[in-house]
Chain A
């Protein structure tokens, strides 16, 4: 039997006649929520950018042939020494190839797997870049450039030229930016490379690549897989690495384990390769939430204070309302709804302010050599944060309004009216 229109009308009248303190309370919420939205958008944008930096350049699962010694040395296979203590000196790595055995069937198998977004073959070759009389040692990676673009947004890191140019140029090369600078080369020119065996090949520069990591940009270049196979004098099934991307990154560790067993091959997953990066983003999230919650608690105290004062001022009104037939619950609802109105107005304004500030930051120039595609500060626009923001605004104002309104509910009208 709660008569909401009457209660809300009284609450609204109280707020409107006390415009100044209502506005102050609402501004407190606006400030808290606005700061939360700005902070979380900026922090998450930054996190996503840094995650992207790591995730784009790191395959979810990396398959390769590790050069390592056999786990069981020949002597332990020999029955006669079974019960003796064997010491083997100068263990050498097992005689093996660098290439992945059965690389093509593995690729075919992976591409059929439903959890796999894609698998790309790579051939990593040690080469020398020849610049006059100077040899610069480095890597040449043979890739399927269109697949790399699809799966690891490689085009984001090609600062000059296009992936298509490499695909269409059989003896093309995308040169690391550090190398291009060292050798004063630019797109359209030619660079000579030499294999470890001493064969020299001229390649045409179709693009410049910048990962943002100087150690990579100074030594690494990309060419078509077939080109590198030809340079190395190897057959078309010679592949040293397979990079796998999954739809769901959390499945990486289990799938890596399975593949390692199934194909007798070394498989590392992304968590193993970048354990520290997750820690970083977790801590940044934690800081963001800690700061936001602090701001909202401060706003909550503001509301608590103002409602408390309002209730002292309205003591007589409360007594009258009770005398003319409003119950304690009605009175409590009047003050709770005042708190909620402040929370709603302040919260919605806070969302708008937060969004505005986020847009502002989004348009501030931010140039970094690490990320060639980024020109302004990164901002994440996630609708979820706005939902959390308004929910928190309502929750905190509800709690801040609860205690003063519960006090109003208990006020004894006789004592107020008789003035004792």
Chain B
């Protein structure tokens, strides 16, 4: 099976307030079309690992491969482009730009990528919103919609450039069980219908159990 994302011996230290070895020799991979979740207690390093995998955190040792390509050590401009084009990211708090409309929020990463015409991007964005059943919100201001809706908009935004992997940092952590269920079903559908790879950090055991694979972390290590 092919790996869409793979790490080799990733180590990370926090130096403030004192030296702390957060991640110890992390080596694992996510296969194409796999829906994996990372679980672990607070402070086990799961979020830290996710931010390294998303290329936002670059201060670590070891190697990170995306689509078999080594990305560790590239210049920052390249990381921005990789995040833009290949990685979709969903946060615990929805994190939309509140001054922009829902549609503009979804379109923004595609506009930054600048590979399609404005009309095409708008059509794609509408299509993603339809898929998530929130197309009626398109022209609302992002600050005017409910929490569950915001998270779905954030997912639409993460998908706009058709990434190779979708990462989530407790995407259901801030939602009630109905909305959390909704988000899970969306993820499931994306995996089954689009063959998307997903890597989700979560505290929610029910959520994790329904994924293909649970990666357990403790004290900066992956428990086999």
Interface residues of A (CB under 8 A from B): 3, 5-6, 10, 13-14, 17, 316-317, 319-330, 413-414, 417-418
Contact = CB atoms under 8 A, between A and B. Distances in A.
Contacts of B99: 13-14, 17
Given A3-B111, A3-B112, A6-B112, A413 B81 contact: no
B157 interface: yes
Contacts of A321: 97, 108
A324 B76 contact: no
A259 B79 CA distance: 76
B181 to A, nearest CB: 25
Interface stretch (B27-35, B82-90, B186-194, B202-210): B82-90
Contacts of B97: 10, 317, 320-321
B51 A324 contact: no
Nearest to A319: B95
A327 B89 contact: no
Interface residues of B, number: 28
A23 B109 CA distance: 30
Most buried by A among B84, B85, B99, B112: B112
B80 interface: yes
Given A323-B83, A325-B109, 17 more contacts: A6-B111, A10-B97, A316-B95, A317-B98, A321-B97, A322-B56, A323-B54, A323-B56, A324-B109, A325-B81, A325-B113, A327-B76, A327-B77, A328-B76, A328-B80, A414-B56, A417-B169
A172 B100 CA distance: 83
A207 B109 CA distance: 82
A323 B89 contact: yes
A325 B157 CA distance: 12
Nearest to B91: A417
A324 B111 contact: no
Contacts of A414: 51, 56-57
A417 B95 contact: yes
A161 to B, nearest CB: 72
Contacts of B51: 414, 417-418
Nearest to B97: A317
B56 A324 contact: no
Nearest to B98: A317
B95 A418 contact: no
A305 B47 CA distance: 35
Contacts of A14: 99
Given A3-B112, A14-B99, A417-B91, A324 B84 contact: yes
B58 to A, nearest CB: 10
Interface in B92-130: 95-100, 108-109, 111-114
Contacts of B91: 323, 417
A313 to B, nearest CB: 11
Contacts of B47: 418
Contacts of A322: 56, 80
Given A13-B100, A14-B99, A418-B47, A326 B80 contact: yes
A413 B95 contact: no
